[in-house]
Structure 1
Amino acid sequence: MNIDKYYQLFCKTLHSRYSEYRELENIFFLLTTHVFQCDKISIMLKLYHKEEIDNVIYHKLIRKLWELKNNRPIQYVISNSYFFGMKFFVNENVFIPRPETEELVYWIIQDHHYYYSNDDKNIQIFDLGTGSGCIAITLKKFFKCIVHAFDLSYKVIFIAKHNSYMHNEKIIFRKIDLLKDLIDTYVSNKHKVNIVVSNPPYIKFSEKKYLHPNIVQYEPFQALFVPDEDPFIFYKTIILWIKKKFYNKVYLYFEINSSIDLANLINFMNIQGIYNIEIRKDCHGLLRMIRIIII
């Protein structure tokens, strides 16, 4: 089979699962550049010349097409995802990095650009629920300061450590259950400024039926869902931890669920004496991130 015929088979097989042509085409190029170990231009030239595919590569492409047909996300199929232009190893143990999270990280970089690459000892960063480590590693690239990253399991920490080694960034990783162990976690208060960032679970169980099958079937349950009766449980736990453990200024950044009414969370923060709150929209016009300054 030549690559043009494989492309036609690819589209025919997956068009019912990915109705947007651009998304389907993007998945095709992610897969083929990974398998052929080349860039997108090279794949386009192969398509133009209708280049033949050798049997070994062909069978590999067919196996991965079968995985995609069974709703496995392309990032898990090729074992990597991109964040801020950097490649990160991912599998079903960690949440796939999203563009919305890039926007949250960019907000942090904009807010604290004066610390960029200064090897400054006056700040420290905490990434709570680090997953693949993409947030912690990206921030470490910009801010040459101490970065702590917490997550629930050793399997997740192993993946995040692998990515930190791959990007040559030293991060302090700790296995911590945010809902059980966080409040007792030791924090150094010798830094003038503390940055805490989290993309915690925030999808209500009742919203599960609205999600794409590739999210529900493959992405880690514990990184996605929260009880309907307390969708802000992680946010509240983190805020209480900061109030108890930090004595200096804390800039807290959360990714949020655009479909949940934030009134309950804002009321909780007001009760805690927190009023410096800013909510921002993402590139799609959805309320997806919040910054809280705690003094």
Structure 2
Amino acid sequence: MRSFDKFYHLFQKTLQDLYTEPKEVENIFFLLMTHIFRCDKTTILLQLSRKEKINFLIYEKLIEKLWELKKNRPIQYVIGKAYFFGMEFIVNEKVFIPRPETEELVYWILQDNKNKNTSKVQIFDIGTGSGCISIALKKKKPEMEHVYAIDSYQETLDIARKNAELHNVEISFKKVDILKDSIFIPKMNKNSVSIIVSNPPYVRLSEKKLLHPNIIQYEPFQALFVPDEDPLIFYKKISFWIQKKLTGVVYVYFEINQFIYLDIIDFLKKIGFLNIEIRRDFQGFFRMIRAVYYAYKKN
């Protein structure tokens, strides 16, 4: 039998070279332990302080998980879940792990629509991944009737659907390769209001070296990277689709690459988007942008 405190020291020693911040290793430890023991952090802290013993079979499972972490596998994939906006989401290597920066993007949308009637607003979550954006919006504003979550891959959408079921929300999922196919458009009128939100791939291949190895090794390549010669490829495709297919007022919220934010602003201005605002994330990087497009004419 092994004790909680001995496993804690082994955990730190095993991962200290992979994660330079001791606090990060500590956070990973508590995520794993609360998952395995199905309890809260306070319970684990008590067991640590009391140097309580760990059942042999459970200890073997912990060692197995620690070995996965040693191989750079993200903790979210190890335990099969991630937290976003205070909610639990099923994740695996088919979906990008939800990030705190994206929570800020969702919060921005919610703040902008805090006192508005959004029952008739159409929401398009393009590149939905785990479904975290559309599910969080629907959960926080259940009166939103028309929420569409779009992704290119069926396996990804299957996970997003499971997450929608987990949180008991109604969302329309659509399989569309946004670089090749036209996104489904429900019937609209000239006074329609739409919100487009997207956290598309935006890391240039030349920036790959800046990422933590666990991101490169395990998270889906197609959800991360864009070619250096056309890093705005997804923003362009979405924006041109808005111009061509939507009517009424369209509010756009993008998560962006902080290194090319000026290029994104210039592009949106050039094609007629107005009221462009950019915001920093909690780390101080320019990470999100909002703009408005008045699409009163149908092409």
Distance change in 2, residues 1:187/1:264 (3 Å): farther
The alpha carbon displacement at 1:142 in A equals 2.4
Q: How does 1:1-295 map to 2 (within 5 A)?
A: 1-115=2-116, 120-143=118-141, 144-145=143-144, 146-182=146-182, 185-190=184-189, 192-260=192-260, 262-295=261-294
The alpha carbon displacement at 1:242 in A equals 0.5
The alpha carbon displacement at 1:209 in A equals 1.4
Deviates more, 1:275-284 or 1:4-13: 275-284
Deviations 1:122-141 (A, max 9, x none): 21111000000000000011
CA contact (8 A) 2:125 2:134 kept: yes
CA distance in 2: counterparts of 1:151 and 1:243, whole angstroms: 20
Deviations 1:200-230 (A, max 9, x none): 0000011111211100000000000000001
Q: Which amino acid aligns with 1:44?
A: L
CA distance in 2: counterparts of 1:270 and 1:212, whole angstroms: 33
Q: Secondary structure at the match of 1:88?
A: strand
The alpha carbon displacement at 1:65 in A equals 0.1
Which structure 2 segments of 5+ residues have no match?
A: 295-299
Deviates more, 1:160-169 or 1:143-152: 143-152
CA distance in 1: counterparts of 2:214 and 2:256, whole angstroms: 21
The alpha carbon displacement at 1:158 in A equals 0.3
CA distance in 2: counterparts of 1:5 and 1:12, whole angstroms: 11
The alpha carbon displacement at 1:266 in A equals 2.8
Deviations 1:185-210 (A, max 9, x none): 33431463111100000000111112
Deviations 1:1-53 (A, max 9, x none): 11110000000000001111111100000000000111101100110111111
CA distance in 1: counterparts of 2:39 and 2:266, whole angstroms: 52
CA distance in 2: counterparts of 1:268 and 1:46, whole angstroms: 55
CA contact (8 A) 1:89 1:163 kept: yes
CA distance in 2: counterparts of 1:21 and 1:203, whole angstroms: 27
Q: Secondary structure at the match of 1:46?
A: helix
Q: Secondary structure at the match of 2:53?
A: coil
CA contact (8 A) 2:193 2:249 kept: yes
CA contact (8 A) 2:101 2:281 kept: yes
Q: Secondary structure at the match of 2:288?
A: strand
Q: Which amino acid aligns with 1:282?
A: D
CA contact (8 A) 1:187 1:246 kept: no
Q: Which amino acid aligns with 2:290?
A: R
Deviations 1:245-291 (A, max 9, x none): 1111010000011122x333333323322232111111111100000
CA contact (8 A) 2:157 2:175 kept: yes
CA distance in 1: counterparts of 2:78 and 2:102, whole angstroms: 21
Q: Which amino acid aligns with 2:86?
A: G
CA distance in 2: counterparts of 1:239 and 1:132, whole angstroms: 23
Deviates more, 1:137-146 or 1:243-252: 137-146
CA distance in 2: counterparts of 1:19 and 1:241, whole angstroms: 43
Q: Which amino acid aligns with 1:175?
A: K
CA contact (8 A) 2:192 2:247 kept: no
CA distance in 1: counterparts of 2:34 and 2:272, whole angstroms: 52
Q: CA RMSD, aligned part only?
A: 1.2
Q: Secondary structure at the match of 1:206?
A: helix
